[in-house]
Amino acid sequence: MGNVFLGSGSFISTGVLVETPESIDLEAEPAGIVVRGLAFTIDFLIRAIVLFVLGLALAFSGEAGMGVMLISWFLLEWFYPVFFEVFRAGQTPGKKKMGLRVVNDDLTPVGWGTSMIRNLLRWADFFPVLYTAGLATMAWNRYSQRLGDLAAGTLVIYSRKESMRSAGSDIRANPPPFQLEREDQVAFVGFAQRSQQLSEQRQQELADILGPLLPVHASQRVDYVRAVGQWLLGGRQ
């Protein structure tokens, strides 16, 4: 967990700590302005290259080609991040390269509505020029959230794939068999992150709490909960 020196000899934590209903703590480290800026730059360059290549291909297509270019620009600008955040565990190519991912503020994966809100509000972060409002908000926000993050209730955190794999390397990630409610996602993610710190009896006890949600025998509940939790954490990749 990161810390910020206050100047009076004390520190405040910049990390995020969420306690699940099963009393399992989830921890994450919010990403700062610099690393997020680098991730944004990578994604911007990818979009620019795609549009450049498309422009060359449509250079002699007249008005129809211009129409395709405008539609492509619109889709890339507004739905490129949404697509990756929803279908690639909160990671655009730029965020993946920098080891970042977008999550809800309770550390569960983002959905369509949340991702749309945070990305459509990039226009507000841009004002008055060059993302001034977004940068100012991030600089004064404990978790480096821009305006879109605050409105959508999202965070950009450092990915914890290494710790996730070491905690359950013998378990293959498995998607849930049905749509999970937000609180259920928190429970599964918390179990996957913390199960190795619990006794076998405690693991079974917590897995049994989730028993009604699981389509497996009682003896398989612990592994199943860990597998679903890893999938929600990004193990689907």
Q: Judge whether 225 lies within some domain.
A: yes
pLDDT of residue 166: 41
Please say which residue of 98, 130, 158 terminates a domain. Answer: 158
Domain span including residue 85: 33-158
- List b or e across 205-227, with b for residues whose CB sees 16 or more CB atoms inside 10 angstroms: ebbeebeebbeeeeeebbbbbbb
| CA dist list (Å): 197 to 106, 167, 190 | 21, 9, 11
Model pTM above 0.85: no
Q: pLDDT digit string (tens) for 95-125?
A: 999 999 999 998 888 999 999 999 999 889 8
Q: Which residues, in sequence order, are CB contacts of 22 under 8 Å at separation 6+? A: 187, 190, 191, 206, 209
Q: How far is CA 83 from the centre of its chain?
A: 12
Number of domains within the chain: 2
110 in Cβ contact with 95 (< 8 Å): no
Q: pLDDT digit string (tens) for 59-92?
A: 888 888 899 999 999 999 999 999 999 998 899 9
Lookup: tokens for 95? 């965020």
Q: Judge whether 28 lies within some domain.
A: no
- 64 and 143 together in one domain: yes
Residue with tokens 């569960």: 108
